[in-house]
């Protein structure tokens, strides 16, 4: 069975529910991708999640949630540690997010990482700009060198830059780290709007070109409701996203796209076919509320 290893931070989610109560859930960009990959590819792809958690009951419940979702946790346990948390506030129908993640054990996920576990040539290791953002600089360098070593053995490394300026000390540090991430990636999954904002790309072609120059052989440039751009080697093509009659909540649009896209590649599909599956899944996800939408 082909393997997809997602790397990053899963958090506790508190989402507003009836009567001033909050519903507890679990989410986080790379975890959302793992969750959707298990949902859409669980029969053909072994999906695991590399992270670090604490040794408290809420860390246990998070790992139980992963296992029952079909995502195999590969989690270092940090004594006295715990997981990160975010809370969604609703004001006039608009959602805003507050985070408590500075003490999250996930920030230590690469501290003692020697190599990526259980992967063989052709398997995919997936990480994001958020994975890089939460790590202290030394651990970030360690993760990147472990990914580069895996890539040298034929493991395909996939990277979603997922630019989040709020998680970085400044834009320059963010852009430098994202460029370092891009240099270890075979498969790049940027979103055009973010890349244009922070790297000054004038078109999705320019975004694809930048990631291809950094070394990616496959680049899928997502573009919200606009056409996606696929670049394989030097060939480019465009793909229309699936039409959505009512966009309810775009949370995890990109994460779910990545899941179906990577599952497609692992199943031997051409990039265009895999991207089409990604767009179809993202269309369903944005038609309902929440990061993890039961399909």
Residues belonging to the active site: 255
Distance of closest approach, residue 9 Cβ to ligand ADP, in angstroms: 17
- Chain residues binding ligand ADP by CB under 6 A are 191, 222-225, 228, 241, 244, 247, 250, 253-254, 257, 279, 282-283, 286
Dihedral sign, CA of 11, 115, 211, 44?
negative
Report the alpha-carbon distance of residue 247 to residue 253 in Å, rounded. Answer: 11
- How distant, in Å, are the alpha carbons of 77, 203, 211, 224 from that of 2? 26, 34, 25, 29
Distance of closest approach, residue 278 Cβ to ligand ADP, in angstroms: 6
Quickly list H helices, the chain: 29-41, 57-68, 129-134, 137-152, 171-183, 192-199, 204-214, 253-266, 271-285
Cβ-based nearer residue to ligand ADP, 63 or 211: 211
DSSP 3-state of 176: helix
Q: Identify the CA nearest to 259 among candidates 54, 34, 74, 106.
A: 34
CB atoms closer than 10 angstroms to residue 122: 13
Residue with tokens 């715990």: 82
Structure token pair of residue 230: 């696929």
Cβ-based nearer residue to ligand ADP, 33 or 59: 33
Cβ-based nearer residue to ligand ADP, 56 or 205: 205
- DSSP result, 260-281: HHHHHHHTT--HHHHHHHHHHH
Cβ-based nearer residue to ligand ADP, 93 or 121: 93
Report the alpha-carbon distance of residue 173 to residue 158 in Å, rounded. Answer: 21
Cβ-based nearer residue to ligand ADP, 151 or 198: 198
DSSP 3-state of 153: coil
Q: Is residue 3 within 8 Å of residue 11, measured between CB atoms?
A: no
DSSP 3-state of 50: strand
Distance of closest approach, residue 8 Cβ to ligand ADP, in angstroms: 14
Q: Is residue 158 within 8 Å of residue 186, measured between CB atoms?
A: yes
Cβ-based nearer residue to ligand ADP, 148 or 247: 247
Number of residue whose CB is nearest ligand ADP: 254
């Amino acid at each position: 069975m082909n393997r997809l290893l997602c790397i990053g931070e899963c958090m506790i989610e508190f989402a507003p529910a009836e009567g001033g109560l909050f519903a507890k859930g679990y989410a986080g960009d790379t975890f959302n991708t793992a969750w959707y990959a298990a949902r859409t590819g669980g029969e053909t792809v072994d999906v695991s999640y590399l992270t670090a958690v604490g040794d408290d009951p809420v860390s246990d419940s998070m790992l139980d949630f992963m296992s029952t979702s079909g995502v195999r946790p590969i989690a270092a346990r940090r004594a006295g540690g715990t997981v990160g948390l975010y809370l969604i506030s609703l004001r006039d129908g608009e959602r805003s997010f507050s985070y408590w993640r500075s003490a999250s054990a996930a920030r230590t996920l690469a501290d003692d990482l020697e190599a990526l576990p259980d992967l063989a040539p052709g398997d995919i290791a997936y990480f994001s700009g958020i994975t890089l953002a939460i790590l202290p600089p030394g651990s970030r360098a360690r993760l990147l060198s472990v990914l580069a070593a895996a890539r040298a053995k034929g493991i395909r490394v996939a990277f979603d830059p997922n630019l989040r300026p709020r998680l970085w000390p400044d834009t320059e540090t963010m852009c430098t780290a994202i460029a370092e991430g891009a240099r270890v990636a075979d498969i790049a999954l940027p979103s055009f709007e973010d890349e244009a904002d922070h790297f000054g790309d004038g078109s999705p072609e320019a975004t694809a070109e930048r990631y291809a120059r950094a070394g990616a052989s496959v680049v899928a440039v997502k573009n919200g409701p606009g056409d996606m751009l696929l670049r394989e080697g030097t060939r480019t093509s465009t793909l229309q996203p699936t039409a959505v009659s009512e966009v309810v909540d775009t949370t995890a649009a990109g994460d779910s796209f990545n899941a179906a896209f990577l599952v497609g590649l692992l199943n031997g599909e051409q990039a265009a076919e895999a991207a089409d599956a990604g767009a179809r899944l993202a269309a369903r996800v944005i038609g309902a509320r929440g990061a993890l939408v039961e399909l």
